[in-house]
Structure 1
Amino acid sequence: MAKTVHPRGDAPALVRPDVRRTSITVEPLTCTIGAELFGANLGVAARDDDLFAAIKQLLLRYKVLFLRDQDITRAEHVAFAARFGLLEDHPVLGGDPDHPGLVRIYKDLDSKPEHYENALHCDGTWRECPPMGAVLRCVETPDVGGDTIWVNMAEAYRRLPEHIKTQISGLRARHSVEASFGAVMPTEQRHKLKAQYPDAEHPVVRTHPETGEQVLFVNAFTTHFVNHHTPENVRFGQDHAPGAGNLLNYLISQAAIPEYQVRWRWQKNSFAIWDNRSTQHYAVQDYWPAVRKMERAGIIGDSPF
């Protein structure tokens, strides 16, 4: 059942007439992640401090927010996303020349079927500072198919067995753009990409900088642990790959558990806003040869700790 959430959760229920536009109706979509918002316009939120503050607080709580019928301009899309922080360009997908920070993800009849996005992932963990989050708009979508799934990786960590939590405490891992986006490139181009974005190293369990939650922080961009091959983990020179590889695969598989997920069915001018620090997502590519066009503004984040 939908409920109304005041933009300042600890404030009294009184709402002045001049700020009623910031009242938002919130409908949680699962028990662990995701909520749909009603009564909010992102174009207004790009200019209205109270409305933006309300949406930001809800994002920290639900980790991904959804809105429909947002007939706003590209400039308003970018302006809203920029309220969270500086926007990034994507080294592979490129950007909109008229709206810096906006990336067009268009899959149309002129495109070849692409499957690299068919993996649960956290955006840009191959960067030293992965994105804080993103604001994604549906421009065109198939009548059926093309959904996106998001996963609560704080919940995934919370429900790990205690002995696994102990085992991964202090572990760090590499994340690679060369082994993901670069894999389909010619060798020279792939090497150039890696030179521009060397493999990043991040903690396997990161701390969310705003909520303090512990988050399982490995995904499809993660290639290996960097500090697993120690006397505590390896006996008599046994190669590190079997034990470490099995553990990494187990951790990555946690994102596939349905109890941690929400699935969103797109419509034209619907939006998703997600916290990239505590989630993964998966673009379901079941619609070829239908057309799917999305536009994303990604927000620069900080170095995980």
Structure 2
Amino acid sequence: MPQHSSTARVSAHALSPHIGAVVQGVDLNTSLSSDTIRTIRDLLLRHQVIFFRNQTLTPHQHRDFAKAFGSLHVHPVYPTVPDVPEAIVLDTEKNDLKDNALWHTDVTFSETPPLGAILVARHLPETGGDTLWASATAAYDALSSQMKAHLEGLTALHDFTRSFPLSRFGRTADERNHWADVRNRNLPVEHPVIRIHPETGRRAIFVNEGFTTEICGIEQDESAALLSFLFRHLARPEFQIRWTWREGDVAFWDNRITQHYAVDDYRPHRRIMHRVTIMGDKPVGPTHTIHS
């Protein structure tokens, strides 16, 4: 039976045992109290991705809501809303969005990947265009004790060019120059394969198809086999929820311990989403000491 949780007038209806909840009792285009912001953050930590229905956020309100949870990221590739550079535009008529139609965690090519992101539906196809989220903590918990022990000391490389290759984002001289500049400012980075959530202490698998290229310190064929297993494991339906968008929907996910997949099944129809991304911290693995 679905679980319910509430604080004051805010309530949340869980969508699955591991991930996802619909939040009621919040109007995001109003000024939210510090208690309400704290409640939303607590629900995010508990449910990993939370959804709000029937919202009417403008891009400025979208940005301001996200800003209540931390500093905001400006994406180096995607176009943005005029006058709101923190809000990226994901428009299938204008952008190459193949990098969204696979399991990924946002911007893990950064030394400090995002804490989370808030996605607003702006224009939806008549059918299709769902988004799936997966819990990387549930995926970790389902591993054998032997596999957990094997992964704990490993790190992996995350590379900007895996989802943003020159072949797709360097069609003109200006695009190639911009791509080279972004690549030079975002060289491959090393993150722990198992990440410890900085607020809850929960462990999660922290590799993703979008940006992870290899496991460090082992042979290439071993790395490929291990990543293949982890990618398949993370994509098991037991760890997932699937969200069917409606106009006015808002999704807020914890990017530190989730992955998502934007289903690309609606062409030639158009889909427009706006995303504002909240800055995070440097991932820490089990071999580091976590200070409370």
Q: Partners of 1:154 and 1:50 in 2: how far apart?
A: 27
Amino acid at match of 2:255: N
Q: Partners of 1:282 and 1:40 in 2: how far apart?
A: 26
Aligned to 2:54: 69
Q: Partners of 1:177 and 1:23 in 2: how far apart?
A: 42
Residue 213, structure 1, aligned to residue 192, structure 2:
no
* Aligned counterparts, 1:192-231, within 5 A: 192-220=181-209, 221-228=211-218
How many Å apart are 1:52 and its aligned residue? 1.1
Aligned to 2:252: 273
Q: Partners of 1:129 and 1:114 in 2: how far apart?
A: 23
Q: Partners of 1:94 and 1:210 in 2: how far apart?
A: 32
Residue 6, structure 1, aligned to residue 12, structure 2:
no
* Aligned counterparts, 1:81-96, within 5 A: 81-96=66-81
Q: Which of the residues 119, 125, 137 maps onto 1:154? A: 137
What is the DSSP-based 3-state SS (H/G/I as helix, E as strand, rest coil) of the residue aligned with 1:6? Answer: strand
Residue 55, structure 1, aligned to residue 40, structure 2:
yes
How many Å apart are 1:96 and its aligned residue? 2.1
* Structure 2 contact 5–13 (Cα < 8 Å) conserved: no
* Structure 1 contact 225–244 (Cα < 8 Å) conserved: yes
* Aligned counterparts, 1:1-305, within 5 A: 5-7=5-7, 22-44=8-30, 46-108=31-93, 111=94, 114-183=97-166, 184-186=168-170, 189=177, 190-220=179-209, 221-228=211-218, 240-305=219-284
- Percent same amino acid among aligned pairs? 37
What is the DSSP-based 3-state SS (H/G/I as helix, E as strand, rest coil) of the residue aligned with 2:32? Answer: coil
How many Å apart are 1:25 and its aligned residue? 2.4
Q: Which runs of 5+ in 1 are unaligned?
A: 8-21, 229-239
Q: Which has the larger radius of gyration?
A: 1
What is the DSSP-based 3-state SS (H/G/I as helix, E as strand, rest coil) of the residue aligned with 1:58? Answer: helix
C-alpha RMSD of the superposition: 1.8
TM-score w.r.t. structure 2 length? Answer: 0.90
Q: Partners of 1:4 and 1:263 in 2: how far apart?
A: 19
Q: Which runs of 5+ in 2 are unaligned?
A: 285-292
Q: Partners of 1:48 and 1:67 in 2: how far apart?
A: 17
Aligned to 2:289: none
Instruction: Report the count of equivalent residues.
Output: 277
What is the DSSP-based 3-state SS (H/G/I as helix, E as strand, rest coil) of the residue aligned with 1:70? Answer: coil
